[in-house]
Amino acid sequence: MISTHQVMKAITYSEYGPPEVLRVEDVPKPACGDDEVLVRVRAAEATKADCELRRFRFAVNWFWLPLRLALGVRRPRQRVLGGYFAGEVAAVGKAVTGFSIGERVYGGTGLRLGTYAAYVALPARGPVAPMPATMDFTEAAAVPLGGLNALHFLGRATIQPGDDVLVNGAGGSIGAHAVQLAKSSGARVTAVDHGRKEGFLRRLGADAFVDYRQTDFTAGGQTYDIILSMVAGAPYGRCIRALRPGGRYLIANPRLSDMLRALITNRFTRRRVVVAFAPETRAGLDALRELIEQGKIGPIVDRVEPMEQASEAHRRVEREERMGAIVLAIEDRLEAR
């Protein structure tokens, strides 16, 4: 029998499927390697990527086969989802410097996943960094995914004060951070999303709002210096035509056809398309922490759910009912008694 000191609470799944496949159970607690930090996870964002991995159905399918081979053909090899977290350092490997036990940290795990659990072991040189002093765990857990992606794309766009920036799919994690970053750079920001999110996005700084159910932002003749789209399947040609000469189109969920057409656009027109995926680094997390502590990025948490409500959290993410991020509060099995 495993002793109580060797197990932890985790949200697990043993088959691909609907939100109901998620359940809370005890699993082995990870050991801390020589070059790793062991983090006591306090909060983890429930993301669209988690939902896609859970059911293994993606809005963009060109990477389906290699990902299936890597993560499990018939059933998931890694039974604990979650790629983004905030928590406290519980242990450090003997080869690790720069972290101390009890330090509050945030970051990501990439395809290692595992943040839907009380503990996760991570490479100390990976994307893990001290979390913003002005945020609590649930607020900080909602930053890495959206913040790193928004910082990456808008950095590639070289925003100038006075630029007109449109964010398509502005109400999710990436979009909500992008609205704030673009506004803090002096841009005029137009947010596109469901009408129920207008108030939320205007509070984040959006100057104008477009309800995609009523208006096609590409059809009215309005043009923009920068368009950032999180919406898989956004009409490539119409988005390009909605750019001014010299404009930049940033695609966060590119289809294979988008990537091929981007080569032609970049070579033969005055417009530029960016499809490069965001790196997840300690440097990026440090930059986000500075922006947050300077007040340029604020919290975007929609709601916090206990581990037992993970299925409902996934349903809200899939239905796009969230305004910002859905965060799971992660308990330890001993603390929960």
Q: Domain map of the chain by residue range?
A: 4-142+299-329, 145-274
User: pTM for the full model?
Assistant: 0.91
- pLDDT-wise least confident of 69-78, 79-88, 262-271: 69-78
pLDDT more than 70, % of the chain? 93
CATH annotation of 4-142+299-329 = 3.90.180.10
Cα(232)–Cα(58) distance, integer angstroms? 10
Backbone angles phi, psi at 126, to 5 degrees: -85, -165
Q: Are strands 7-12 and 325-329 parallel, antiparallel or unpaired?
A: unpaired
CATH annotation of 145-274 = 3.40.50.720
Structure tokens at 308: 């037992």
SS3 38: strand
Which own/partner pairs from 74-77 qualify as long-range (CB within 8 Å, at least 24 positions apart)? 75/14, 75/15, 75/16, 76/13, 76/14, 76/15, 76/16
Contact present, 236 and 168 (Cβ < 8 Å):
no
Structure tokens at 175: 């979009």
CA nearest 27: which of 46, 41, 47? 41
CA nearest 249: which of 275, 268, 269, 231? 275
Q: What is the mean pLDDT of residues 226-254?
A: 94
**What integer pLDDT is reported at residue 4 of this predicted model?**
47
Same fold for the domain at 4-142+299-329 and the one at 145-274? no
